Amino acid sequence: MPLAINPILELPFTSFMPQASSNAQAEFLSHLEHGGILFLPNLGFEFAPSETRFLSPDWSDGQSKNIYLRGNNRTIKGAKGNVEELAAMSALIERYSSRATSLIAHLLPSYMPHAKLANSSLRCVEAAGRITSWRKDDRRLHADAFPSKPTAGTRILRVFTNVNPQNKPRVWNVGEPFADMAAKFLPKVPAYTPLQAKLINALGITKSLRGEYDHMMLHLHDLTKADAAYQANAPQMRVEFPANSSWVVYSDLVLHAVLSGQHMMEQTFHLPQESLTFSAASPKNILERLAKRAINC
């Protein structure tokens, strides 16, 4: 079934320092916070000739799908190589991270006092071929939620750039609005119990205490991925992000399935609820409206 509204807003910019009017910036902000995608078809990320060697999946340590720098600890993870190679990979990812930060500063300047740098990644593994459990299978529609990392209501904003050297697109299906999905699945989410949250935190399953908001988000993630009929029949739209294009999205709000694609760079930002202009459109407020009560983070 097709989507009722096209979620893509196409922006013509060719620079990570795009000059936009304040009216245009306000439009970008509204589009993004209401579940749209900012798509920059002409914004690629340049590799130096000495860096193109890192477009091979062979640099992965085999444990992680990404080679990445954590938000707070910029030691390179997920890669193998000698000291010089790891330093060069790290510099490449750091350069992308600063470009992505510049992009957000220019498109969405009201976020800059609040945006916290999270993981910066180079992903060279083919998305279509990864063998995973259904829960980790990102080829199924889902909104992002992670079992071990409660967000406590902090939003997940992501900048992606397709850096495929063979001109292959990254292909997504984008699903229905979050509120429509949550209306179907929230009644199936089991009741939250603080005792269980304490237990799984004590066991080290979560890195911090999982509140009711993260409990709901994680169950919605799992319920949508596990429901074959929903995956087949839910409204969705195929979107191709060509090589040398970028896109910006709240991945905790926009239902997405990654069908195929290889070679991507990605920067995640964490944004507190207070930084939102249209907080009524956030997952937390949508869930509170559906539940008809406040939800603790």
Q: Find the shortest distance in angstroms from Cβ 256 to Fe ion.
A: 6
Nearest to 182 by CA among 277, 28, 295, 273: 295
Q: Where are the alpha helices (DSSP H) in the chain?
A: 22-33, 83-107, 178-185, 194-202, 212-226, 228-233, 283-291
Residue 147's CB is within 10 A of a number of other CB atoms, namely 15
Site string for Fe ion, 96-135 (x = CB under 5 A): ----------------------------------------
Nearer to Fe ion, 139 or 284 (CB): 139
DSSP 191: P
Q: Find the shortest distance in angstroms from Cβ 221 to Fe ion.
A: 9
47-55, 104-112, 139-147, 240-248 -> range binding Fe ion (CB under 5 A): 139-147
Q: Find the shortest distance in angstroms from Cβ 191 to Fe ion.
A: 26
Residue nearest to Fe ion (CB): 144
Q: Find the shortest distance in angstroms from Cβ 137 to Fe ion.
A: 10
Instruction: Give the one residue of 35, 96, 127, 144 binding Fe ion; rule: CB under 5 A.
Output: 144
The Cα-based distances of 248 to 36, 38, 156, 228 in angstroms read 9, 5, 11, 28
Phi, psi (deg, nearest 5) at residue 85: -65, -45
Three-state secondary structure call for residue 115: coil
Nearer to Fe ion, 33 or 144 (CB): 144
Q: Find the shortest distance in angstroms from Cβ 51 to Fe ion.
A: 26
Kindly provide the b/e burial profile for residues 19-32, where b requires at least 16 CB atoms within 10 angstroms of the residue's own CB: ebeeeebebbbebb
Residue 266 sits in the site that holds Fe ion (CB under 5 A): no
Which residues here bind Fe ion, judged by CB under 5 A? 144
